[in-house]
């Protein structure tokens, strides 16, 4: 694709990077085949190719974003299925992130939109605030139908029926390895996950310790910055990321660190991109080192290997698991086989939905800001998962788990919870809550 940026415009690193990406696009349209919003809406401007044209025009002209461009960029899930599909290697993620930052700087949104985004950025990255908000939303759920805005109704619906107690395992500390130490790893405990489901981090810590890992919960670590980064709030996102980089590098320099392990794939995609985010910053070297250490929990477990003798006989036998591949894992990080292989080795029968490459509609805050499209995508995903008649649905991202769980009666658990259970850990709470019909005959 030809571009017409001026030499002056190209002095801006964001424009320079956008220019590189735009010029790699040959507008073949392969991306439209796997774009969820194009499939739902059928509008060229709601496909990656259409959005690329809108972004190109906006950035080349150097004009403030207009309402049409904002509408179609906001509708993008950032699922990155287009990047997996693209034969030309167009790095759509960096392009749309640049566009969102540009929109945030140049476009004045309607008051309600500004207010909702401000609240989300203020609350969700902070677990204590988010927990309080969930309690408030839980009390407000009976009045959801009275809300005039679908986004407000979606926010009330987000609150789980039961909000888990705070886990002290998420506090800064070091968990010793069981047996000889093989690795020393830092665990990103997340922000939303700490309020929505504390079992995931607990299961991760137990399993890693069993496999000989010393697990560090670093002091000063917090939100990875993904939520605000994808809302175009660059300064806030960079502040969160910088705090994590400082926390993990302090651990690395003090006692060594072999990996930064992440069990929320949306966070993992962002942490692995820290090197790019800070490429023109004094933190560039440290950011690149942290990005290089970042691993999804399934990647680390595949590297460590779970010895066959670690699996408790009979736990997984006959249990059918429908594996949902989170977009941020299969497209953002290109981690596709490790979670399924691990579950199979544990003895589970693993099946996948027909549309395994498509988004469930969660996508960070997308289900709150674009609830109509999100609900359509959720209904499709739930239908294809339920068609496999599984006992359990497994996923590697808390957002997907909440989204799918709100549309089905089949228990939805994290992959690491099943692997922890299969190696001697407790039965996942979601299975117990679902009653005896949910693989209840298992230990």
Q: Which of 95, 127, 157 is the last residue of a domain?
A: 157
Q: Which of 301, 331, 347 is the last residue of a domain?
A: 301
Quick one: 120 and 79 in the same domain? no
pLDDT score at 443: 41
Quick one: 31 and 99 in the same domain? yes
Note the pLDDT tens digit of each residue in 23-59.
999 999 999 999 999 999 999 999 999 999 999 999 9
How far is it, in rounded angstroms, from Cα 424 to Cα 331?
31
Note the pLDDT tens digit of each residue in 69-96.
999 999 999 999 999 999 999 999 999 9
Angle at which helices 371-386 and 150-157 cross, to 10°: 50
Assigned domain for 130 exists: yes
Assigned domain for 3 exists: no
pLDDT score at 441: 42
How far is it, in rounded angstroms, from Cα 436 to Cα 438?
5
Angle at 329 between CA 332 and CA 398, to 5 degrees: 120
Quick one: 406 and 332 in the same domain? yes
Q: Which of 106, 130, 148 is the last residue of a domain?
A: 106
Q: Which ranges of 218-334 does DSSP label H, i.e. alpha helix?
A: 226-229, 234-255, 265-271, 274-277, 284-293, 297-304, 327-330
Quick one: 413 and 394 in the same domain? yes
Report the domain count for the chain: 4
Quick one: 132 and 181 in the same domain? no
Single pTM value for the model:
0.93
Assigned domain for 344 exists: yes
Assigned domain for 297 exists: yes
For residue 86, what is the domain's CATH number?
1.10.1060.10
pLDDT score at 340: 98
pLDDT score at 382: 98
For the chain, residues with pLDDT lower than 70 are: 433-443
Quick one: 353 and 416 in the same domain? yes
For residue 317, what is the domain's CATH number?
3.40.50.1860
Provide the domain limits for residue 141.
Answer: 116-157
């Amino acid at each position: 694709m030809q571009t017409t940026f001026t030499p002056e415009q190209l002095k801006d690193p964001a424009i320079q990077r956008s220019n590189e990406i735009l010029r790699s696009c040959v507008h073949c349209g392969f991306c439209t085949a796997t774009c969820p919003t194009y499939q739902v809406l059928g509008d060229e401007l709601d496909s990656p190719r259409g959005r690329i044209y809108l972004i190109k025009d906006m950035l080349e002209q150097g004009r403030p974003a207009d309402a049409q461009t904002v509408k179609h960029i906001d509708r993008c899930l950032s699922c990155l299925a287009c990047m997996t599909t693209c034969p030309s290697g167009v790095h759509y993620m960096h392009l749309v992130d640049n566009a969102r930052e540009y929109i945030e700087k140049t476009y004045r949104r309607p008051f309600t939109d500004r207010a909702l985004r401000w609240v989300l950025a203020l609350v969700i990255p902070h677990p204590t605030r988010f927990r309080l908000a969930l309690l408030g939303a839980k009390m407000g759920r009976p009045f959801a139908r009275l809300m005039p805005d679908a986004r407000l109704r979606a926010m009330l619906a987000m609150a789980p029926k039961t909000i888990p107690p705070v886990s002290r395992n998420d506090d800064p500390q070091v968990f010793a390895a069981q047996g000889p130490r093989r690795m020393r790893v830092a665990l990103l405990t997340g922000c939303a996950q700490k309020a929505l489901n504390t079992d995931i981090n607990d299961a991760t810590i137990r399993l890693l310790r069993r496999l000989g890992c010393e697990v560090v919960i670093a002091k000063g670590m917090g939100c990875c910055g993904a939520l605000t980064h994808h809302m175009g709030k660059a300064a806030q996102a960079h502040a969160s990321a910088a705090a994590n980089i400082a926390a993990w590098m302090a651990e690395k320099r003090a006692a060594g660190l072999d990996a930064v392990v992440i069990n929320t794939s949306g966070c993992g995609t962002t942490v692995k991109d820290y090197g790019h985010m800070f490429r023109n910053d004094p933190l560039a070297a440290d950011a690149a080192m942290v990005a290089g250490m970042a691993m999804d929990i399934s990647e680390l477990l595949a590297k460590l290997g779970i010895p066959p003798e670690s699996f408790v006989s009979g736990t997984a036998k006959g249990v059918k698991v429908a594996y949902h591949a989170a977009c941020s894992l299969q497209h953002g990080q290109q981690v596709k086989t490790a979670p399924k292989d691990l579950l199979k080795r544990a003895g589970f029968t693993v099946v996948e939905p027909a549309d395994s490459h498509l988004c469930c509609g969660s996508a960070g805050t997308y289900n709150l800001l674009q609830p109509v499209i999100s609900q359509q995508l959720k209904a499709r995903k739930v239908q294809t998962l339920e068609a496999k008649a599984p006992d359990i649905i497994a996923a590697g991202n808390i957002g997907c788990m909440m989204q799918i769980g709100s549309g089905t009666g089949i228990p939805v658990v994290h992959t690491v919870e099943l692997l922890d259970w299969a190696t001697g850990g407790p039965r996942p709470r979601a299975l117990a809550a679902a009653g005896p019909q949910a693989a209840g005959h298992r230990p």
